[in-house]
Structures are given as C-alpha cells and as structure tokens.
C-alpha cells in the first residue's frame, strides 16, 4: 500500500510518500519539505495571514501532483502548533480540502508528541537508544517532549519554537545579549512547565528531531553541506550544542545564509531553535543528544497502516 503523510507546522509543510510492507517496514518513495512560514505573525495577531496561506496553498498544489504521480491510496494531513492557535483556521481547512481532498486534522500537542516519538525511535538503530527515551521535537511554534520505551508513556507540548522565539524576542541582526537573555528565560520557563508533566530524571537517552536539531548537528559536525545520511543517528555532545548555539546567535543572517548546510528557510530562525535545544539539554542533564532524521512524518505513516 502506498500512503502519504503531510505535516503542516508553523515553519514548514512536509510530505512523505512511502510503501509499507506486510512486516510493517516503511520504504520511502519521496520526502519533500517546503518552508512556508504558515505561523508568521500568529503569535501577535492570532490569525493566519493571507500571504502565509498563499504560500501554503502553492506548496499543496505541488504536493497534489506528487500524490497523483505516485498513485497514493491513503493520505493523512496533520496540522500542529500554528493551526491550533489561529482564529481563522476555517480558511485553512477549506483550502487544504479543496487541494488535497482530505480534511486536515488539527491535532493536540500530546498526539503530535506521540507521533514524533514513534517516528523517531522506530527509525533509529536499537543500539543507540537505551530506554527510557525522551524525544524532543523542536518545531516553529511549539516543542514536544515525549518519554517512553517501546511506546510513549508521558508527553507534553509547550509553546516555544524557533519561529515563535524569533518573532517574540530575536529582532536584532544578530540578536543583542538582552534579546538572547529574554528568549532563554522564556524557553526555561516553558521547559520547567514540561518537567512538571514529564519526569526528566528518568531519561537515559535524549533524541532530537526536526530541522533545528539537524541543523545544529550539521554545524557541530562541520559538514560542508546538509547530508541526512551522516546526520541520522549521529551523537552530538552537550558542549558541541552549546558551542554551535553561541556561534549561531552571534552570526548575522547573511553569515548564517552562507553556511553550506543551512536551509534558506531556517536562516532567520535557527538561533531560536538552537537555544531551545541547548536549554533542553541543560534541564534534562543530558551529556549528548541522538539525532534522528525520521520523525512525525514517519509516525503519521505508521498510524495510517496500523
């Protein structure tokens, strides 16, 4: 069976088309990401902007062609942080339905966390992940924490992410020391809230997913360009994350854009995402983070076929 998962977040909309065999093994056909910044301004206005919706709908027109080309039999469209917050999400829902032919599911943060956990953990070699495992998914508008072994046992979503922190605090180019302090204080408060629901003291392995984590890892490994095959399953130390975060916050946008592994859509928001990862590692007391290139998209595919 050929199925498709679409993950619509605050910063990007991503598509995974895959075959799943009788043993439940996922065989990827196509994986595409478009940065559409759907959540642009939503922290301030509470609504999707017309420009953000147009960027999303343009990407979905492209995706609809891929769904037809691969003869996809089932599609699940999951919308996360920005779509939970928007007052005008009816326009968003109608636009998705008219282009993809399915209704978008605006899921709660706890379900987002559970899908991320399944996708991340099933995609990693067992030798790299000793349970209990904490999967941290740093998105544009929110960060999900989910703890478990073979399945999630505790999960929470908090409203800090790379786009939200950038829009709220990091206006400077590069950000000022005061702006960085304000962002870190906001992030620490959210992580403390998460720690009241997820027992950080139980964690044996920290797994990080999504673009902020993989981009920080690419910097830590000094990659000349983005290479998912190197990044997936890599282990990055806390000191490497801290060093990368300091470098990213000190760089101008032009300097970040010149990095070979930097996606253009992450240039202005990566410092905020790096700070979230840095603060999570400090709060958990993790000496290292395992990087996963499989994530909520893979989890959505598994949810379709199980």
Strands 143-148 and 152-158 turn out to be antiparallel
- Look at residue 59 in the predicted model and tell me its pLDDT: 98
Domain that holds residue 287: 110-296
Final residue in a domain of this structure, among 107, 122, 143: 107
- Look at residue 39 in the predicted model and tell me its pLDDT: 86
The mean of the pLDDT values for the chain is 94
- Look at residue 187 in the predicted model and tell me its pLDDT: 98
The region, left, alpha or beta by phi > 0 then psi within -120 to 50, assigned to residue 222 is: left
CATH of the domain at 266: 3.30.420.150
**Co-location of 253 and 135 in the same domain:** yes
Residue pair 79/37 in contact by the 8 Å Cβ criterion: no
- Look at residue 81 in the predicted model and tell me its pLDDT: 63
* Nearest CA among 24, 25, 3, 8 for reference residue 16: 3
Structural domains in the chain (count): 2
Residue 305: inside a domain: no
Q: Is 264 exposed, middle or buried (0-12, 13-18, 19+ CB in 10 A)?
A: exposed
**Co-location of 168 and 272 in the same domain:** yes
- Look at residue 113 in the predicted model and tell me its pLDDT: 82
**Co-location of 172 and 280 in the same domain:** yes
CA 245 to chain centre: 17
**Co-location of 67 and 118 in the same domain:** no
Residue 67: inside a domain: yes
Final residue in a domain of this structure, among 107, 127, 149: 107
CB-based contacts of 94, cutoff 8 Å, min separation 6:
none
pLDDT tens digit sequence for 69-115:
999 999 999 997 667 778 898 999 999 999 999 999 988 877 888 89
pLDDT tens digit sequence for 220-277:
999 999 999 999 999 999 999 999 999 999 999 999 999 999 999 999 999 999 999 9
**Co-location of 131 and 253 in the same domain:** yes
b/e code 92-104 from CB counts within 10 Å (16+ = b): bbebbeebbeeeb
**Co-location of 122 and 78 in the same domain:** no
pLDDT tens digit sequence for 6-52:
999 888 899 999 998 888 788 999 999 999 999 888 888 989 999 99
Residue 57: inside a domain: yes
Residue 301: inside a domain: no
**Co-location of 118 and 267 in the same domain:** yes
* Nearest CA among 70, 54, 52, 91 for reference residue 15: 70
Residue 302: inside a domain: no
Looking at per-residue pLDDT, the higher value among 84 and 188 belongs to 188
- Look at residue 9 in the predicted model and tell me its pLDDT: 87
CA distance to 23, 146, 280, 286, 297, per residue, from 113 (Å)? 24, 6, 15, 19, 12
Using pLDDT thresholds of 50, 70 and 90, give the confidence band for residue 123: confident
Final residue in a domain of this structure, among 107, 141, 164: 107
> How confident is the model over 55-82, as a mean pLDDT?
94
**Co-location of 123 and 247 in the same domain:** yes
**Co-location of 129 and 264 in the same domain:** yes
**Co-location of 212 and 125 in the same domain:** yes
Cα gap 142→10, rounded to integer Å: 8
Which residue reads 């902007």 in tokens?
Answer: 49
Residue 180: inside a domain: yes
**Co-location of 82 and 34 in the same domain:** yes
Question: How are the residues of the chain apportioned to helix, strand and coil, as percentages rounded to the nearest 5?
Answer: 50, 20, 30
* Nearest CA among 140, 83, 76 for reference residue 108: 83
Cα gap 82→281, rounded to integer Å: 25
Residue pair 155/117 in contact by the 8 Å Cβ criterion: yes
CATH of the domain at 51: 3.30.420.40
Looking at per-residue pLDDT, the higher value among 66 and 42 belongs to 66
**Co-location of 55 and 75 in the same domain:** yes
Residue 262: inside a domain: yes
Looking at per-residue pLDDT, the higher value among 29 and 125 belongs to 29
Residue 221: inside a domain: yes
């Amino acid at each position: 069976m050929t199925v498709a998962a679409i993950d619509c977040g605050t910063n990007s909309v991503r598509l995974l088309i895959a075959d799943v065999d009788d043993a439940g093994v996922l065989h990827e056909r196509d994986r595409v990401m478009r940065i559409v910044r759907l959540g642009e301004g939503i922290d301030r206005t509470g609504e999707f902007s017309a420009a953000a919706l147009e960027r999303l709908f343009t990407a979905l027109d492209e995706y609809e062609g891929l769904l037809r080309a691969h003869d996809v039999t089932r599609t699940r469209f999951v919308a996360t942080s920005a779509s939970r917050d928007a007052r005008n999400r009816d326009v968003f829902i109608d636009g998705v339905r008219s282009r993809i032919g399915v209704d978008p599911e605006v899921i709660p943060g706890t379900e987002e966390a559970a899908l991320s956990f399944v996708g991340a953990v099933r995609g990693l070699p067992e030798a790299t992940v000793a349970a209990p495992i904490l999967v941290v998914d740093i998105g544009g508008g929110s960060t999900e924490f989910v703890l478990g072994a073979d399945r999630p046992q505790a999960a929470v979503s908090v409203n800090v992410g790379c786009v939200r922190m950038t829009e709220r605090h990091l206006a400077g180019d590069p950000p000022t020391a005061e702006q960085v302090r304000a962002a870190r204080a906001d992030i620490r408060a959210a992580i403390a809230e998460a720690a009241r629901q997820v027992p950080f003291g139980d964690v044996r392995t920290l797994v990080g997913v999504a673009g902020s984590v993989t981009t920080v890892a690419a910097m830590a490994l000094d990659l000349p360009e983005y290479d998912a095959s190197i990044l997936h399953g890599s282990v990055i130390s806390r000191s490497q994350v801290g060093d990368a975060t300091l470098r990213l916050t000190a760089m101008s946008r032009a300097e970040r854009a010149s990095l070979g592994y930097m996606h253009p859509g992450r240039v202005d928001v990566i410092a905020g995402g790096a700070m979230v990862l840095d603060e999570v590692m400090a709060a958990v007391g993790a000496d290292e983070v395992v990087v996963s290139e499989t994530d909520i998209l893979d989890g959505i595919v598994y949810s379709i076929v199980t």
